Structure 1
């Protein structure tokens, strides 16, 4: 999955609903809640991580956020959940009788795969456990843009847990001390917003948001940048300026020539990752993220972990629960990734495409209902024609010289992640078609100042997803699967495929401990081995389909699932849905869950607003 905010595509899994989203391009006082990343793959992020101002700003009330594959993005203020649906059908293996056989030309044969320098096979015996040193907190570096009340420190972890005495890397950590009395304090609350590739260094600033204030009496708020992200042994696969190059195209039905072009780009990107990271590349994995989380628990001096993960954060949080069930105190999983090893990550991205198509239809229906405001058409089909007209115009003449069909697609993908973008995007499209491109340029043009951060997030997203599990090497399979899905879900399918295609060329010596992309860990715990954990999911979430929450609940006996009926915003907890917030707050403060299942009414639809 990609991060809509960071990469403009589906791949990332990052939460977008946790906090109110700032206007596009505006400074974000608080990072997004689930992360994209998954084009978001658990590719991207649900909430773009814009650089906050150097002077602290009071965060706005939240509107709940990783990745395209494993990653959520903040959206403007929006409003709150839906009935249980049967698990989504496999878009690849399920027949679609209404669709004619594909006539698309196959992708070109891929160039040779990159091979990293040989790495010694670790001994069969379990290596000694690394010892975490207590984190020494002090003033935060100016680059973090955090207020003086927030402390920062470094956590030293092994690059390779099979060799804990070998090379070390440092992860940056932030903390805001609890405001409660000694009797009220319950320890540290660690948060991850998703991705892969997203940071929670700004999480201490969430304490200024009303829905979080009670928690600050009980917990230290702890955020961190996972391995590879920001200043935590940063990973890069491409020059930021090259990554952010615009305008770009985004054809619904790619030609053979376009497929060849994107295939060569994907192969070059994989080579760039291998060249820049060398032997370290294989160690950017979800399993190592889970191990780092346990080192963080120990480095904070906590006997047991209290953790809140959104989007992709729910996946490596589930890995943690499987690896270290006795170290778990409380865990909140918001917008749940399907942990079935068969889904990680290729099939997960295909499922995302189906979800985003449904959300794209939801947005078009809403715009048609408000035709008196936006004048884009009185039917879903008419609104679609208006959007396609804009795509065609931008292909011929990019707005501001920077906004082409690719940038338009990335901007409007966010309407799937968060309802808070609905009015803003409708207003920009309406203005553009009437001759005023300024709102669209402001919302869709790449921001040069964020290019380095965006490229870093994409690199981490790609490395983690490609390392975590086997990916098809035969480009004919990619072509056949995505052609089949694109017939019923054309909105995001091919862009999501391009974002993840580097995994087809990933170095042979990357991946599992033996460099063979061994299968993902089977997430599950024995009954009674894990304290009750709380899952939250929106029924129509496209980035992390609802079936994933049902699957994780089945694998974690005793867990509780809170469903936001009829809603689709990626990220449920501590947003505008008071029902969901009450369940999450009660659980974190008391450990009590609402039972196996609980349901919340959906948040209200956005209000049409031309000033959005």
Structure 2
């Protein structure tokens, strides 16, 4: 599941591979390792010997001191460990720069996506929520295969995605749907043409194997890992494949790992979650009608939004903001309530005749076109490769038409994002891993998974809360769950909620959790701040408190 709003999504139908939980009684005999598992074991042994040579980061990474960078060679195809190799980029800030705690090892981070780069992660070492953790751990970021400079994947010319405006109807007609079907087929063909035979090797299973090799190259016998969104699924798959190589694991904003939901049904599950969060934003704006004038009820705020949408459908704001760009910008309200004040203010300004704030917030950034296209390509490839998807349009149309009756805000945009998977040109799809299952090929059925920590917001739209409960059930009695009640920001840990942050810090530093299930009160809602106020504060002005 994407953690970057403009690239969100998740999807795919699946099959089940049921097995006992990790913490259940050991299986009678270990399964025979398959070729990929044997290749990963060989690559990890080699990485233990070669290690990582950290040095100054290339200018392309735009990472300042004290961050250091390295590269890691891994097989493109783990069934052929001596075949084509690809290079992954890795970043690090060494432990101890923020305090005198005893070093506990390396903490590897995956920010989600799939398609997001974690190379920036070491920069968080000085942030308050990470300071004590960074004193004890090397903070390790990396770009997963296909991402950034790690054997980058592309499916189309980035310039094709950089332009605007785009017009996406709220209620697509049969002709609209057919246009999207044709575009999805063309996009899938572009992936195959640009990547060739390598396309099949962008999978969650290979991401987990890469993580196993990275752990070995870092000189760590066991992995300490923090994953957000899709990163929770990656972490859970790693824990299933390599339970004996897990030290500590924080899984923030959990994807539902049920093989029957990976990925198509997870996609369907998102729509009601996003609808709840869209309501949360509208209810907040209604409570602050005096500040924004968008309406005193959620329905009235919706009407204001629709007036703006109808207007940009006729005349794009700033020449580049159509309904597609508008929707992408306001989809972010479901991910982060920090953006609520500026999004509400932009709507208010537009309705007063000033389109500039909206254009500034929603306009595509040409400088980010290559990164955006790359992230979308990796996202699509991993999810399409990970599981079987419905290949018939009738299933997609029926399921999404039904969903859109009660959850229209995100349903069709997400369907069209994932639609290339219906005609994906890779025949041999992966079988979703039965997360928590002991009898997984290449795994260690006799190994018990150590204590893990799951963190979730109760009203998260991108990864609905039921996924956290399912992940805890599958990881067993050693998995603890910290819930932020009544909140929905996607990505809970990291400075937003002190209660959550204390639980995560305690776990990473000591291995202890406060209980099997713990709840924290929600973080405060944002105060209504006008765009003029925000600009003044950026200039350092002292303003009276907002009431």
Shift, 1:508, TM fit: 3.7
Shift, 1:575, TM fit: 2.3
Matched, 1:158 2:75: yes
Aligned counterpart in structure 2 of residue 149 of structure 1, from 57, 60, 66:
66
Aligned counterpart in structure 1 of residue 392 of structure 2, from 469, 474, 477:
474
Matches within 5 A, 1:188-267: 188-267=106-185
Q: Does the C-alpha gap of structure 1 residues 436 and 556 become closer, same or farther in structure 2, counting only changes over 3 Å?
A: same
Query: Which consecutive unaligned segments of at least 5 residues does structure 1 have?
Result: 12-37, 43-121, 510-514
Task: Name 1:609's counterpart in structure 2.
Answer: 529
Matched, 1:170 2:87: yes
Shift, 1:183, TM fit: 6.8
SS for the counterpart of 2:481 is: strand
SS for the counterpart of 2:182 is: helix
Matches within 5 A, 1:373-388: 373-388=291-306
Aligned counterpart in structure 1 of residue 55 of structure 2, from 138, 141, 153:
138
Aligned counterpart in structure 2 of residue 427 of structure 1, from 345, 349, 368:
345
Matched, 1:588 2:500: no
Task: Name 1:520's counterpart in structure 2.
Answer: 432
Aligned counterpart in structure 2 of residue 287 of structure 1, from 205, 214, 226:
205
SS for the counterpart of 2:42 is: coil
Write the distance in 1 (CA, Å) between the matches of 2:247 and 2:495: 24
Maintained 8 Å contact 2:3/2:229 = no
Shift, 1:312, TM fit: 0.3
Shift, 1:518, TM fit: 3.9
Matches within 5 A, 1:116-131: 126-127=38-39, 129-130=42-43, 131=46
Task: Name 2:466's counterpart in structure 1.
Answer: 547
Deviation readout 1:237-262 (Å, 9 max, x if unpaired):
01111022211122121011111111
Write the distance in 2 (CA, Å) between the matches of 1:143 and 1:574: 26
Maintained 8 Å contact 1:4/1:411 = no
SS for the counterpart of 1:195 is: coil
SS for the counterpart of 1:235 is: coil
Deviation readout 1:161-200 (Å, 9 max, x if unpaired):
1111111000000001111689700111111110000011
Shift, 1:124, TM fit: 9.8
Deviation readout 1:547-569 (Å, 9 max, x if unpaired):
00100111112110000000000
Matched, 1:600 2:520: yes
Matches within 5 A, 1:265-344: 265-344=183-262
Query: Which consecutive unaligned segments of at least 5 residues does structure 2 have?
Result: 13-33, 439-445, 535-547
Write the distance in 1 (CA, Å) between the matches of 2:526 and 2:127: 21
Q: Does the C-alpha gap of structure 1 residues 2 and 254 become closer, same or farther in structure 2, counting only changes over 3 Å?
A: farther
Maintained 8 Å contact 2:404/2:411 = yes
Task: Name 1:65's counterpart in structure 2.
Answer: none
Write the distance in 2 (CA, Å) between the matches of 1:123 and 1:348: 30
Write the distance in 2 (CA, Å) between the matches of 1:375 and 1:226: 45
Write the distance in 2 (CA, Å) between the matches of 1:267 and 1:302: 43
Maintained 8 Å contact 2:389/2:422 = yes
Maintained 8 Å contact 2:207/2:234 = yes
Task: Name 1:571's counterpart in structure 2.
Answer: 491
Deviation readout 1:555-597 (Å, 9 max, x if unpaired):
1121100000000000111222110000000000001011211
Matched, 1:465 2:383: yes
Q: TM-score, normalised by structure 2?
A: 0.88
SS for the counterpart of 1:523 is: coil
Maintained 8 Å contact 1:325/1:525 = no
Shift, 1:214, TM fit: 0.7
Write the distance in 1 (CA, Å) between the matches of 2:412 and 2:262: 19
SS for the counterpart of 1:476 is: helix
Matched, 1:532 2:444: no
Write the distance in 1 (CA, Å) between the matches of 2:401 and 2:521: 36
Write the distance in 2 (CA, Å) between the matches of 1:411 and 1:373: 21
Write the distance in 2 (CA, Å) between the matches of 1:125 and 1:162: 8
Q: TM-score, normalised by structure 1?
A: 0.79
Q: Does the C-alpha gap of structure 1 residues 449 and 303 become closer, same or farther in structure 2, counting only changes over 3 Å?
A: same
